[in-house]
Chains A and B, each alone.
Chain A
Amino acid sequence: QVQLVQSGAEVKKPGASVKVSCKASGYTVTGYYMHWVRQAPGQGLEWMGWINPKSGGTDYAQKFQGRVTMTGDTSISTAYMELSRLNSDDTAVYYCAREYSGGGVDHWGQGTLVTVSS
């Protein structure tokens, strides 16, 4: 069965960077785009971008352009999302989610809580 397992919670200081990993299993990773979505405490879902694991191509939400980098290592079926120049507004649960061929995303990681605090 499809599983996405993310790395553990992180606490970072303002100005630092964080890199979250997402290990996929149960399917061929090169066949599906991987999206990243975040959710601040008590808030809604916010789409950050996607990566095509096969080509390495990416597309990011304008809000995160210049601060986010999505990469992948197909040899270990793992996707990464790195966010730099963190501030308190970046405190959120970050999810990886596999794109579904019919539309939307159909499998989600368990989420990684990133807390930005001095």
Chain B
Amino acid sequence: DIQMTQSPSSLSASVGDRVTITCRASQGISYYLAWYQQKPGKVPQLLIYGASTLQSGVPSRFSGSGSGTDFTLTISSLQPEDVATYYCQKSSSAPWTFGQGTKVEIK
């Protein structure tokens, strides 16, 4: 099975900072990658699909890039409401493996 590895596992940044989270697949998955945000005590929310397409309603400060094995989620200007854990997930053939998550906090 293809493994999904996120880095870092956690980060602390100041409001307004640019934040980057990476996700690496152990084999190429083309652009079949989704990103989710899970706020404490809440259900995950789809942020980005197809590696770079923003889901409807998601603020434009979020963006995704990459294809093949290396992907990036960027928050261009971190806001207090962005405190959450972020997960990548391969969305091609089964299993639809998740990354282990990246916890984002405010410094």
- List A residues at the B interface (Cβ < 8 Å): 35, 37, 44-47, 49-50, 59-62, 95, 97, 100, 102-106, 108-111
Given contacts A45-B87, A95-B43, contact A103 B98 (CB under 8 A): no
Residues of B69-107 contacting chain A, CB below 8 A: 85, 87, 89, 91, 94-101
The answer on a CB contact under 8 Å between A105 and B46 is: yes
A104–B33 Cα distance when bound, in Å, is 7
The list of the 10 closest CB pairs from A to B, nearest first, reads A104-B34, A103-B49, A59-B94, A103-B91, A44-B101, A104-B49, A45-B98, A108-B43, A102-B49, A47-B96
B55 sits at the interface (CB 8 A): yes
Interface Cβ pair total, 8 Å cutoff: 63
What's the dominant secondary structure at chain A's contact region?
strand
B62 sits at the interface (CB 8 A): no
The answer on a CB contact under 8 Å between A49 and B50 is: no
Name the distance in Å between B44's Cβ and chain A's nearest Cβ: 6
